[in-house]
Structure 1
Amino acid sequence: MALPSPKPVDGATLFKQQCAVCHTLSSAEPTRQGPALAKIIGRRAGAVEGFRYSAGFAKADFSWDEAKLDAWLTNPQELIPGAVMAYRQAKPDVRAAIINYLKDN
């Protein structure tokens, strides 16, 4: 008897399980530990109005794209020294699913 195929990784579910504790997808919702992530692709790092970023973000001179988000989710402190985000994701397929979900929101 063959084992069932694994379900494809679902970005929305992953976001809810792994990101939504600290982040929302709407600036209309109350701020959590992290800034709202709506429309993050193309947004300058550290630029959400009213959010208090760690000191490392003051030196971050880039806008978010898929590659930067992938590096961020892999190791936030390597991308932005002094960043306080504790989450890291070692699995490329999980990172890709979350990033694809964020691209659509």
Structure 2
Amino acid sequence: LRGHLRAAAAALGAEYRPDWTPECTHLVCAFPRTPKAARARQQGGVVVGARWIWECQKQGRRLSCGPYLLDGAASSGSEGEEPEDAPPPPCPSPKVTKGAGPPQR
């Protein structure tokens, strides 16, 4: 599963990183309450489920993170959620925690 998610994210322009760093923009994970997810949120990252990648792949574009956020990392209209047609962030660095790297450029 992880490899498939990584491949799907890469096909969308994401850059995978095995460990969270402040340069990362999204953490894709299966469990919202891990030390890595907490660290990502503290450093301004967006924590989403793997379904975000699958839906982005299905539609062929980066979707809003809102519906895919884990553990209330942000809510609709709050920071961390971009409009559906938003351009990718300037410094992509997706993460994988029991998941894969998210669609970024």
Range into which the TM-score falls when normalised by the shorter chain = 0.3 to 0.5
Q: Higher relative CO (CA 8 A, sep ≥ 6), structure 1 or 2?
A: 2
Larger Rg, first or second structure (1 or 2): 1
More strand by share: 2
More helix by share: 1
The two structures have a TM-score, normalised by structure 2, of 0.35
The two structures have a TM-score, normalised by structure 1, of 0.35
